[in-house]
Chain A
Amino acid sequence: MSTPEILRPDVLARLRNLGHADIVVGIPSYQNAGTIGHVVQAAQTGLAKYFPGEQSVVLNSDGGSTDGTPDIVADTVGPDAAVVLVSHPMRPIHRLSVPYHGLPGKGSAFRTIFRAAELLGAKACAVADADLRSITPEWIHLLVAPVLNQGFDYVAPYYHRHKFDGTITNNVVYPVTRALYGKQIRQPIGGDFGVSRALVQHYLGLPVWETDVARYGIDIWMTTEAICGDFSLCQAFLGAKLHDPKDPASDLSAMLVQVLGTVFRLMETHAERWHAVKSSAPVSIVGFRYDVGLDPVRVNPARMIDHFRRGVRDLESIWQTMFDRADMEQLKRAASKTGPGFAIDDRLWAHLVYALAAAYHRRVSERDALVRSTLPLYMGRVASFVTEMADADAGQVETRLEELCAVFEQEKDYLRGRWSDER
């Protein structure tokens, strides 16, 4: 069945001129003028240094930046870069700047990159976020080499992050993905990854590119589809992940809706698969592991606890449509505690997340409103985690997260029961 071409004619013409590439490195961007130059340089250097025998293309898919991002990409690979690259005349590195169209967002950028990789016949495709400050040429090697040399189809990133960074990954997405699908991928929504040609074609053939999944949850979708498609997986240790500071005006509840909404919709798509999974297995990690220095992170648990208490006080009518009475009582007890005594324990947290997933599935109310209403719970859990781990080092935090994941796996029968509850 023929599908409409998503690439613009001029981009298609440019790709036809290039003819073939073994490796495509995609860099989706939007308003990343401050960092994209560094990312493009790292990609070019990585390709030149580690894959000198391969034809490579760096593809920047820009979402209509107005801060000069595409110009910076053009300048970065100007005369100087060309000289560096031309030093490998048989292995030219090309650069395309493609303002992607269709749905504005990361999903559209990925689709453009994957389609270009498919047209160029690339054996491996890597994607790196344009806001990275810590990317090095080695990242490209670590994301591409497992695909080219070891036959892996999906290379997920494995970063060192501050113990309080990535809280939605640590407390929700990682434990849930691991418990559901049985693969211990530590950063299932990391923005940097490597994929094989087979997986690129698999992604392009799935009917999600015009949906909210592509718009909001492309990272978790890619990881989940790679697992559920039985592709071979590994993780690449990339060191520290440092990127531009978050937008202070960003709406956390909207982010929660996007990420969790996608996780829950994928649960519906792959219900049969996750129902059958009983335990989880480690996923191999490539790359030399080392400790790195990380930016300090300021945390204010008191404000998070206040947010949680406001939720318990005002949102009970919504929560009780999703959660068990016993869990609601536990939440009220937690809200009444102050200081270091405040805690949302692992079992309660697993129940809340699973009950939310089931309520989302059974549409007990408007789906997005259900997820938005749980922001105070999430804040309470983060506060609980931060308070508990205040003096812990990175290793202790990882051990603690292992315990949390084990609880999510143990409580999976609770999810199965809630999921199939008929009203």
Chain B
Amino acid sequence: MWQVVQQVFSQAWQQFTAQSLALLPNVLVGLLFLAIGTALALLAGRVAKFLLRRSAVERRANKIGLSSWLERAGILSATAVLVRLVQVGFAIMTAALVMYSLDSALASDLTKRFFLYLPNLVIGVTIFFVGILTARVVSRSVLIGAVNRGFPAAKLLASLARVGIILLSSAVALEHVGIGRAIVPYALLILLAGVTFALALAAGLGSRELVARWIADQLGPPTPADADDIQHW
């Protein structure tokens, strides 16, 4: 009995060591690729940063109005985005090389799948990004407009607008990526409910003054203190 156990253990160990030794060069090459890839990504980032600064990309982006679009999406530096894109490119290449060094068949399969899936991913990310950008712009406009029109719950209204748009864009993005296909109808329902709630709130809070003014009109003409007629310019 003990001999059988010993034999099984010995065979397992031999197989493990043999396979490990067979795989070791691949792992070492993979690690080497990883180290070189990481170093190259960092170096490329620095070189890109240097070149972009020298070519005054920030100023050019400012000039053509790109900066203001990026700012609306919360990106304060065009240079930082481009540097990050270069680094992500190197990271993807490094990951592919590491996978190929470990198992070329698996890597080939994964790469093929990745490239087949890529268009959906790109569209999904784009939709989400545009949604975030739109949400920021709309939310800020709603906030400023509501404050300037004397709406008491301006922040709430702006938040509702932002959440509604992000929810909708996230649902559409997920749909494109192929995750949660049932989310879109639910998101639309939630959005509709949100809009209805916001409108009800706006009507309720916003019409307070209207009602007050109507009552005041019924009681008599507005007193001079109710209005001003400054000519501002």
Contacts and interface: CB of A to CB of B under 8 A. Distances in A.
Contact of B147 (A259, A300, A314, A365): A314
B229 interface: yes
B148 A372 contact: yes
A311 B147 contact: yes
Contact of A246 (B62, B71, B150, B231): B231
Contacts of B68: 363, 365-367
A423 B68 CA distance: 13
B65 to A, nearest CB: 8
A168 interface: yes
A252 interface: yes
A299 interface: yes
Interface string B138-166: 00110111111010101100000000000
B62 A297 contact: no
A300 B148 contact: no
A365 B72 contact: yes
Interface string B181-205: 0000000000000000000000000
A303 interface: yes
A375 B148 contact: yes
Interface residues of A, number: 42
Nearest to A164: B230
Nearest to A301: B228
A335 B103 CA distance: 67
Nearest to B72: A366
A255 B233 CA distance: 9
Contact of A423 (B72, B77, B140, B150): B77
A423 B231 contact: no
Contacts of B72: 365-366
A297 B230 contact: yes
A318 interface: yes
* Chain A interface helix/strand/loop/mixed: helix
Interface in A161-189: 161, 164-169, 173, 189
A194 B34 CA distance: 74
A4 interface: no
Contact of B141 (A164, A246, A369): A369
B231 to A, nearest CB: 5
B77 A245 contact: no
Given A314-B143, A373-B144, A376-B147, A165 B230 contact: yes
Nearest to A300: B228
Interface string B220-233: 00001111111111
B140 A369 contact: yes
B67 interface: yes
B137 interface: yes
Contacts of A375: 148
Contacts of B141: 369
Contacts of A189: 233
B201 to A, nearest CB: 15
A375 B144 CA distance: 9
B88 interface: no
A90 interface: no
Interface string B65-92: 0011001100011000000000000000
Nearest to B151: A310
B71 A168 contact: no
Contact of A307 (B150, B229, B232): B150
A303 B231 CA distance: 16
Contacts of A306: 150
Given A169-B233, A259-B233, A367-B68, A315 B144 contact: yes
A375 B143 CA distance: 13
Contacts of A168: 232-233
Contacts of A310: 147, 150, 152, 154
Contacts of A367: 68
Interface string A280-306: 000000000000000001111011101
A364 B70 CA distance: 10
B68 to A, nearest CB: 5
A315 B228 contact: no
Nearest to A371: B144
A166 B231 contact: yes
Contact of B229 (A245, A303, A364, A423): A245
Interface in A137-166: 161, 164-166
Contacts of B152: 310
Given A300-B226, A363-B71, A364-B71, A166 B144 contact: no
Given A310-B154, A365-B71, A366-B68, A376 B229 contact: no
B149 to A, nearest CB: 9
B232 A255 contact: yes
Interface string B33-68: 000000000000000000000000010001000011
A311 B144 CA distance: 8
A166 B148 contact: no
Contacts of A76: none
A246 B148 contact: no
B225 A300 contact: yes
17 contacts: A166-B231, A167-B232, A173-B233, A243-B231, A245-B229, A297-B231, A298-B225, A298-B229, A299-B228, A310-B147, A315-B143, A363-B62, A364-B71, A366-B72, A367-B68, A372-B145, A382-B230
Given A168-B233, A376-B147, 7 more contacts: A246-B231, A310-B150, A318-B143, A365-B68, A365-B71, A366-B72, A382-B230
